[in-house]
Structure 1
Amino acid sequence: MTHILKEPVTGPSAWRRADVEDSSQWTYILDEKMRKEILESAEKIAANGDDVWSLSRTSVPLSRSADLFARCVDELENGRGLAMVRGVPIEGLSLEEAHTVFGVVGLHLGKAVPQNGRGDRVVSIKDHGIGRLNSKTVRGYQTNEALPFHSDAPDIAALLCLQQAQQGGEFYVASAMQIYNTLLEEAPELLGLYYAGIFYDYRGEEPPGEPPAYKNAIFGYHNNQLTCRYFLRQFADSAPAKLGFFQSEAEKLALDTFEEIAAREENYVSMRLAPGDMQLVDDNITVHRRAAYSDEADGATDTTRHLLRLWINVENGREFPQFVSTHRWGMKRAATVQQKD
């Protein structure tokens, strides 16, 4: 039986911009010794010919920086739900080497899960040149267009900046818990729709034998914890036609209302990543969006925007039914897969 929370969410997870504008509250700096041990661990993995994802946290110890990452995860899960780690050592590295460095960090954040139908644990956030979100198969990380407020599937979405675009690409994060509190005040009649769930488009990455869309709750209340998953609006808009029906006006109103509250200036904080910055957001309690960006060549300087993303579940994380996040533990292998990165 679904239980609908009828009381406001309290505590640090329900914040407005004024509460988090001081980024020093949620920024963690890697010093030179921390950077060195991360880089040395990655070099050792490469020298041994190991796949970082076949290793465990205990087999890749970080004596100097492990505590910093543990504090970061605690802030994500039990605090504001957003964090920035600065100084990840990626200068002069090849893409493969950067993947390994990101993997070393990822091991100390939690368990990385597959993000697409190919089973990739790390994906490149860049303009892949394969179309836009109005396509039947393109996903948000493959385009340079603006993305509305949304969640990703796991507990934590981690973005590591390799190269920022000259124009655009800023990130905006809002508290889904504060959005819920506003819904309680302004539109309580819509709550049942959020708990019942919305259909979302697989974008061509459905597992064998499954339909091209799946249903996922937007809010769920379990074990005295409210959890949110609000996936990309474009996926909600394109799903019904693939299943042979229309999205109801009530569902459209619920989605519009959620996004309008998230986009209120007092409800979000913005940030722009520089190379070596790692942004982390907790999908259980926040939503995020991205501004459109443009890649421009400036002589010999490569200004092609390129970030790496991990989907991570934390150890001993909150428990809730799969219906609240269908792909929390990773995407299944698809019957057909998109072009490679």
Structure 2
Amino acid sequence: MSMEQAESIGAVRPVGAGSRAAWLVPELLADPSWIFSLGEVAAGDMVRAIRRAHRPGQPLIDYRRDDFEFDAALPVLRAAFAETRDGRGIALVRGLPRAALSEPEFELLTWAIGLHAGVPRPQGKATHYLSAVRDIGTVYRSGTGRGYSSNAELDFHTDGADVVALTCFNTAKAGGMSMVSSSVTAHNIMVAERPDLAALLHGTFHFSRQAEQAPDEAPFYPHPIFAELDGRLHSRWNRNRITSAQKLPGVPPLSAAQRAAIDLLDEILRRPQVMYAMHLAPGDMQLLNSHVTLHSRTGFEDHADAADKRLLFRLWLTPPDARALPAAWRPGYRSVAARTVQGRHPRSGLRLGPAGLRAAAGHDTGHGAGGRLGLMAPSRAGAAAGGTWTWPDRGMADRVSVEVLSLGVPRFPRHVRKVRPKGGNTKLGVPGRFLLSPISPQVTCGPACGRGRWRSSRRTR
């Protein structure tokens, strides 16, 4: 870190001390209010809803929130997500009906919970919105390694979304324990013990994108490990990605002091008073707030029978009431404004600015009459990210403003009545701004729509 950076950071101080997010293990053990249980009635409602809605072969993004009536379960789910956002930053929901559902049905259940909770975010270069966490032989310690598809012990890290939901279908033969630490607690311990090293973690580090960058992105990006905004501490940490970035051209080498700082952080995270270890059982769902917790997993030995192998399903979610993020989070999250869709964006398809994102996700109106999840809707949708558009059913804008970022003509369905240029452009596919209008009340354009790069920037009437 340069002298200029050090001066700009200044003296660090404890942040969030005394808040529920700054927990130690004895406090979690003494106060189980972060653990929630679904009763038989709620579980039964889920089974009936999933079996009624499940259509084998239908893509997940084609399901709507209204397809799943979880009436008895919703109060429990809402309380768990509220605890994740405003409380400990960790919640455990027990009692999902694992035994009554097949693997595809349980996967759909996970997706349906996400429909009720927020906006799922893509998790990789394939723009997949739900990951099957299973060992497929991935080499974790590599420039393209992803931990969820290996059986390796993982570094403590942060996932690329506001909330991580992990549901358990099968456990491993041995190992695979989940470990969670409060990043707020770890930061404040570090400030007390080594404020000089804590200050370095508020400076710039470089994270590898693990070869999953979009065409307009570098293979690495700058990001602090800690930053404060509005009295709240935010964290982003992944040693494997920082180590991978050190092998990329253009990344400055870590200083000896920076290495000492991240070594101390990892040591603090694994202290018995700081690190909470738990085995997820079939039917459990773990929720984590990525901004105030860090998590890891022990290595595991799997079963020989494929039907018994360890399997969990992972969703990355942005809740409708997402808080603003520090400006330094922009390289990794794209949008940092409150109540916008934050987190990883697809490699292709739409890139939404804050106004378009609020309209797309319905974050400006809260939960309404749910739309398609791939359309970024837990409520009425205008335009949507993830390579899919939906126009509103009624009472909202009848045109969507589109900015074409690079050459390549997007293909739109026949239901789009007109594509007319704005601002002097004469041909769609030339960088510039255009307006689109639908014919029918609800028009969908799937991932095949985009050959170029384009984004919605605002709605107009």
Q: Secondary structure at the match of 1:147?
A: coil
* Cα distance, 1:172 vs structure 2: 1.2
Q: Is the 8 A contact 1:164 1:273 kept in 2?
A: yes
3-state SS of paired residue (2:344): coil
Code of the aligned partner of 2:205: I
Preserved contact between residue 53 and residue 103 of structure 1 (Cα < 8 Å): no
The equivalent residue for 1:89 is 97
What is residue 70 of structure 1 aligned with on the other side? 78
Opposite residue 304 of structure 1, the aligned amino acid is: K
Structure 2 equivalent of residue 319 of structure 1:
324
What is the aligned counterpart of 2:197 among 190, 193, 196? 190
CA 1:176–1:40: 2 relative to 1, 3 Å: same
Residue pair 1:125, 1:308 contacting (<8 A) in 2 also: yes
Q: Deviations over 1:293-332 (max 9, x none)?
A: 01132xx684311111111112212111353261442243
- Deviation of the 1:27 alpha carbon: 1.4
Paired AA for residue 316 in structure 1? D
CA distance in 2, matches of 1:317, 1:72: 15
Query: Could you tell which deviates more after superposition, 43-52 or 145-154?
Result: 43-52
Q: 1:23 to 1:36 in 2, by over 3 A?
A: farther
Give, in angstroms, the shift of residue 34 of structure 1. Answer: 0.8
Asked if the contact 1:14/1:175 (under 8 Å) is kept, the reply is yes
**Paired position in structure 1 for 2:346:** 332
Provide the residue aligned with 2:253 in structure 1: 246
- Asked whether 1:227 is paired with 2:241, we answer no
Larger Rg over CA atoms: 2
The answer on whether the counterparts of 2:179 and 2:278 sit within 8 Å (CA) in structure 1 is yes
Q: How does 1:119-134 map to 2 (within 5 A)?
A: 119-130=127-138, 132-134=139-141
Letter in 1 for 2:310: R
Q: Residue deviations 1:275-300, cap 9 Å, x none?
A: 11111111111111110001132xx6
Deviation (angstroms), 1:238: 1.3
* Residue 25 (structure 1) aligns with: 33
- The aligned runs of 1:49-198 (5 Å cut-off) are 51-55=59-63, 57=65, 60-91=68-99, 93-130=101-138, 132-198=139-205
Structure 1 stretches of 4+ moved >6 Å: 1-4
Q: How far apart are the structure 2 equivalents of 1:139 and 1:285? A: 22
Q: Which amino acid aligns with 2:144?
A: T
CA 1:133–1:66 in 2, change beyond 3 Å: closer, same or farther?
A: same
Do the aligned residues in 1 keep the contact of 2:186 with 2:265 (CA within 8 Å)? yes
Q: How many residues align?
A: 331
Residue by residue over 1:238-273, the C-alpha shift from the partner in whole angstroms, topping out at 9 and shown as x without a partner, is 102213442222221121111111111111211101
Using the TM superposition, give the Cα deviation of residue 119 of structure 1 relative to its aligned residue in structure 2, in angstroms.
Answer: 1.1
**Which of structures 1 and 2 has the larger relative contact order (alpha carbons within 8 angstroms, sep 6+)?**
1
Q: 1:308 maps to what in 2? A: 313
How much does 1:50 deviate? 6.0
Contact kept, 8 Å, 1:213 with 1:243, in 2: the verdict is no
Identity across matched positions, percent: 28
Letter of the 2:170 counterpart: Q
Does the residue aligned with 1:21 lie in a helix, a strand or coil?
helix
State the superposition RMSD in angstroms: 2.4
Deviation at 1:73, TM superposition (A): 1.2
Gap regions ≥5 residues in structure 1: 335-341
CA distance in structure 2 between the partners assigned to 1:32 and 1:97 by the alignment: 18
